[in-house]
Amino acid sequence: MAVEYEKYLRMDKFPHYWCPGCGNGVVLKAFIQAVDELGWSNNDIGMVTGIGCSSRASGYVDFNTMHTIHGRALAVATGIKMSNPDKHVVVIAGDGDASAIGGNHLIHACRRNIDITLIIINNWIYGMTGGQYSPTTPTGSIAATMPYGNADPDFDLVNLTIGAGATFVARSSVAEPVMLKNYIKKALAHKGFSVIDAFSNCHIQWGRKNRFGDPVKLVKHIKSVTVSSAKAKRMNPDELKGLFVTGILYENNEKKEYTESYFDMVKRAQAKGGK
């Protein structure tokens, strides 16, 4: 059955302010499809975003939504989740928002394994501010603040979040929206901190500076630098050089989820006497 998108969107807030052809809409659509398949009620979903193009997503969805300050969405989301542990909390963030200014909150949300889903719309650039390089801008590519080619090593957010303790980590891209939806659905259903590293196209701010000003061309480029985990298993390290593996890359259902740990501690505290 077709998804009734209007049920999840604040239709009076459209048209959205993203550029024509932007990948943000593809990720948001995949997210809504996932929510619809899970049958979650709008009332039970909280969406928190930070600052940047992708962070405007919270304004368009008819949930309990907050557009916060740069980098702090996960910290605010932690407060919302801890005060309502039985509700669903989702964060959508850009690559700069999540991994640069918000990097500390990201690693500690992973470490706690709090039941929040983080969808990183990773377009390799600070789009809203005009195309400055982010931690995920490919080394060597051009950015407004790297006019001679990016000298910085780029960040692999999958390795980062697995290393920091997230218990569900998947990578996908706007080039494969159905897989993206499937992974988001699994991430939402996962009990624990889940991360989706969603490669997306910013043909305006990254693309134009790097000969990918056409959105279709850029999506094809994204496709060319990603490889499914099934295929990657049959490739040697040399062949995998410069490629990003997609798929469900880590899943751990053993590590205890944080709200459970916390409220178990509350029970222990209450079992003890005294004030």
Helices (H), the chain: 24-38, 57-60, 73-83, 95-96, 103-112, 157-164, 177-189, 215-224, 229-232, 237-240, 258-271
Q: Which of 42, 139, 224, 229 binds another protein (CB under 8 A)?
A: 42
23, 42 Cβ separation under 8 angstroms: no
Q: Which of 26, 32, 77, 218 binds another protein (CB under 8 A)?
A: 77
Residue-wise DSSP of 259-275: HHHHHHHHHHHHHS---
222, 175 Cβ separation under 8 angstroms: yes
190 lines the binding site for another protein (CB under 8 A):
no
6 lines the binding site for another protein (CB under 8 A):
no
Footprint of another protein on 79-98 (CB under 8 A): 79-84, 87
275 lines the binding site for another protein (CB under 8 A):
yes
65 lines the binding site for another protein (CB under 8 A):
yes
Between vectors from CA 29 to CA 42 and to CA 189, what angle results, nearest 5°? Answer: 55
CA distance 243 to 235: 11
Residue of 77, 145, 63 whose CA lies nearest to 115: 77
Question: Of 24-32, 36-44, 176-184, 225-233, which segment contacts another protein by CB under 8 A?
Answer: 36-44
Footprint of another protein on 108-167 (CB under 8 A): 108
Q: Which of 24, 54, 68, 167 binds another protein (CB under 8 A)?
A: 68
168-173 and 244-251 beta bridge pairing:
antiparallel
69 lines the binding site for another protein (CB under 8 A):
yes
Q: By C-beta, is 91 or 227 nearer to another protein? A: 91
Binding residues for another protein (CB under 8 A): 10, 13, 42-44, 46, 48, 58-59, 62-69, 72, 75-84, 87, 104-105, 107-108, 262, 265-266, 269-270, 275
